[in-house]
Amino acid sequence: MIVAFAPAVVYLAIRLVGLLVLAWLSAANDEALVDNLQAWDGHWYLEIAANGYADVDPSMVDGFGNRYPETPMAFFPGYPWLIMALSLVPGVSVTGAAITASLACGVVAAYGLARLGRLVGGSRLAGLLLVVLFAAAPMSVVLSMAYSEALFCALAIWAMVGVVERNWLLAGLCCAGAGLVRPTAAALIGVVGLAALVAIVRRRDTWRPWLAIVLAPAGMLAYIGWVGLQTDSLTGYFALQQRGWSSAFDGGQATFKFMIEALATDKSVLETFTVWIVLAALVLLVLCVRQRMPWPLVAFAAAVVVLDLGSDGLMYSKVRLMLPAFPLLIPVAIGLARRRTTTAVTTAVLLVFFGSWFGAYSLTAWQYAI
């Protein structure tokens, strides 16, 4: 019985530590904890959940301080819909529903990670350590905020569970749901679709892989198509992202320039740590390949990293946008599971406090969007 609750208990305990550190830094910077939990993109999700796309507060603007009729459509509807559903419960505010949704989705993600860690790492301990590493990751603070990362990660993790276990209905449905949550779902759709195609070519699982191929892109195509109808352009969503947040794929030129400047000039603590975390992610990706992890997991992690680092969007969001690349943590979880208990615990504690500090610092002492 205790083992069954372990992923949830471990995950929530680490998120509690993160919230306590955030409360501490919020007080030190004369800021309210609740305000930080709904900061930046959180305001958009809460407004959309409360008022719909058409009635978002007109004072809310894009990254350049402008507002157009289509500006709110830059935010996918999956997370606001979940907030709306939970806010129907008597006595639950929109903000309360958003935080509850994120924490609940994080618990769902934790169980998926525990299962993946057991499947790939070969032990329950590896699975539990994977939960620890994910909950303690830099910028994991957004898993406790009014942000869509917790929902997207939960769907992506269970989609990968479906692929590894060849449960194509689960993979397809989770992928379709993820396509309504974040544009990063493009990476998930590609990997799930390719894995299903490989199964078809190898004549495995009869007709079931076709379910994943049909279902996987449904959510994203539906939303991108709807935005296209609203803007009278098939590329309407991508145009508003470019115009409002300068978010477009440039092959990594902007990211490379930022990293070089951060390492060579007098930059802030957050910018410098951001570069080192990005470099660590690249090293972990190499380890995933060397350890011959199941290729769909490696491919998904690589796709997330490429989409993140290849974009010329906000540099300070790079670490947050890599959060869905959870397979990068699997080699670390496996390695710690093979070490002495004291080594694993000490490492985990250090990572929990570093991740908690990094996320809290980025929301309090750091003045720009994350």
Per-residue pLDDT tens digits for 40-60: 999 999 999 999 999 999 999
Spatial CA neighbour of 161 closest among 204, 112, 232, 101: 112
How far is residue 32's CA from residue 37's CA, in Å, rounded to a whole number? 9
Q: Which residue type does 111 have?
A: Y
* Sign, Cα dihedral of 256, 261, 264, 268: negative
pLDDT at 154 over 90: yes
In Å, how far are 162, 171, 176 from 298, measured between CA atoms?
A: 15, 16, 20
Lowest mean pLDDT among 184-188, 279-283, 315-319: 315-319
β-strand partners of 61: none
How far is residue 6's CA from residue 231's CA, in Å, rounded to a whole number? 47
Mean predicted confidence (pLDDT) in 179-202: 97
pLDDT for 328-359, tens place per residue? 999 999 999 999 999 999 999 999 999 999 99
pLDDT for 19-37, tens place per residue? 999 999 999 999 999 999 9
pLDDT for res 146: 97
Contacts of the segment 354-358: beta carbons below 8 A, 24+ positions apart: 354/136, 354/138, 355/18, 355/136, 355/137, 355/138, 355/139, 355/140, 356/17, 356/18, 356/20, 356/21, 356/22, 356/136, 356/141, 357/21, 357/25, 358/138, 358/139, 358/270, 358/273, 358/319
Copy the structure tokens of residue 301: 């992690």
User: What is the distance of C-alpha 236 from the center of its chain?
Assistant: 24
Listed by start position, the domains of the chain span 2-363
pLDDT for res 245: 85
Mean predicted confidence (pLDDT) in 252-262: 92
pLDDT for res 1: 64
Q: Answer for the pair 122, 72: CB distance below 8 angstroms, yes or no.
A: no
Q: Answer for the pair 278, 340: CB distance below 8 angstroms, yes or no.
A: no
pLDDT for res 314: 82
For the chain, give the mean pLDDT: 95
Backbone angles phi, psi at 87, to 5 degrees: -70, -10
pLDDT at 267 over 90: no
pLDDT for res 6: 95
pTM of the model: 0.96
Length of the chain: 370
Q: What is the DSSP letter of 311?
A: B
pLDDT for res 247: 79
pLDDT for res 156: 98
How does DSSP assign 75-103, residue by residue? Answer: S-SHHHHHHHHHHTSTT--HHHHHHHHHH
How far is residue 52's CA from residue 129's CA, in Å, rounded to a whole number? 39
Backbone angles phi, psi at 313, to 5 degrees: -75, -160
pLDDT at 266 over 90: no
Collect all residues with Cβ–Cβ distance below 8 Å to 148 and sequence separation of at least 6: 41, 45, 75, 76, 78, 79, 181, 182
